[in-house]
């Protein structure tokens, strides 16, 4: 199947699930996870109407952003764990970062964001399933970190991101996703401009949309199986 066909199917699925969940039309944005994929694949996605892309590896993402520099209508999200020695590259090149989980990282991003660019759009990553292997903060740390981020001049706090533990049973999926929905509502009640809840991938997209996700991150279902770097 072509990338264009895959995207068309996904847009349709997102609309159908949104409708069933009584969500407004276009309430859920599709982020195409393009990590390890060649620029030719991204070009096909752009031709099919996709404008929002997510990259997990800093250097690879920066190279792709440079390749598509003439395309001012694209939106680039950094969605991988970020080491402090790579913050400058993210601050100078990406539009969004979804994986902020430490004040130190946020401070560096704010200091390194060029003045001529709009503020870097930020999501706080929550480790909602309390997995040692995953980045993110504990739910009780959310409000204190959000307060500090909201005070940084070159950042704009927009919401939350999570990668819940994989569950094959939708009822089990729903427990963590509903927890995220409640945290998101708490954040909205305490800060202005909070509008993005990034959760849901290929296996839990439907349940995530039912639980209030505003952005689903889909890779394989758009581009096909990945070629992971050695």
Q: What is the CATH number of the domain that holds 161?
A: 3.20.20.10
pLDDT digits (tens, 9 = 90+) for 26-78: 999 999 999 999 999 999 999 999 999 999 999 999 999 999 999 999 999 99
Q: What percent of the chain has pLDDT over 90?
A: 89
pLDDT digits (tens, 9 = 90+) for 87-138: 999 999 999 999 999 999 999 999 999 999 999 999 999 999 988 888 999 9
Q: Is residue 40 part of a domain?
A: yes
Residue 73, domain extent: 3-218
Q: Is residue 173 part of a domain?
A: yes
Is the pLDDT assigned to residue 229 strictly greater than 60?
no
- The mean pLDDT of the chain is 95
Q: Is residue 49 part of a domain?
A: yes
Is the pLDDT assigned to residue 168 strictly greater than 90?
no
Q: Is residue 109 part of a domain?
A: yes
Q: Is residue 89 part of a domain?
A: yes
Number of domains in the chain: 1
For the segment 203-226, the average pLDDT, to the nearest whole number, is 94
Q: Is residue 227 part of a domain?
A: no
User: DSSP string of 36-83?
Assistant: T--HHHHHHHHHTT--EEEESSHHHHHHHHHHTTT-TT-EEEE-S---
Q: Is residue 48 part of a domain?
A: yes
Q: Is residue 26 part of a domain?
A: yes
Residue 228 confidence class, pLDDT cut points 50, 70, 90 = low
Specify the pLDDT at position 64.
98
Is the pLDDT assigned to residue 230 strictly greater than 70?
no
Give the H/E segment covering residue 161. strand 155-162
- Beta-carbon contacts of 112 under 8 Å, excluding residues fewer than 6 positions away, are 87, 88, 91, 92
Contact 31, 215 (CB under 8 A): yes
Specify the pLDDT at position 131.
82
């Amino acid at each position: 199947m072509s990338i264009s066909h895959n995207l068309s199917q996904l847009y349709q699925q997102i609309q159908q699930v949104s409708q069933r969940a009584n969500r407004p039309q276009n309430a859920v944005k599709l982020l195409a996870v393009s990590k390890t994929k060649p620029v030719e694949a991204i070009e096909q996605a752009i031709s099919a109407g996709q404008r929002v892309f997510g990259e997990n590896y800093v250097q690879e993402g920066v190279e792709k952003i440079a390749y598509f520099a003439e395309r001012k209508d694209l939106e680039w999200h950094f969605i991988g764990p970020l080491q402090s020695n790579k913050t400058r590259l993210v601050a100078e090149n990406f539009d969004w970062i979804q994986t902020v989980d430490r004040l130190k990282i946020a401070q560096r991003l704010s200091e390194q964001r060029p003045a001529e660019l709009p503020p870097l759009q930020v999501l706080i990553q929550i480790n909602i399933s309390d997995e040692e292997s995953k980045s993110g903060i504990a739910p009780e740390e959310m409000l204190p970190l959000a307060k500090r981020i909201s005070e940084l001049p070159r950042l704009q706090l927009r919401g939350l991101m999570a990668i819940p533990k994989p569950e094959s049973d939708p009822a089990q999926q729903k427990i963590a996703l509903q927890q995220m929905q409640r945290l998101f509502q708490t954040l909205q009640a305490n800060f202005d401009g909070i509008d993005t809840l990034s959760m849901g991938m290929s296996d839990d997209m439907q349940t995530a949309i039912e639980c209030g996700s505003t952005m689903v991150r889909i890779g394989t279902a758009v581009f096909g199986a990945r070629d992971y770097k050695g």
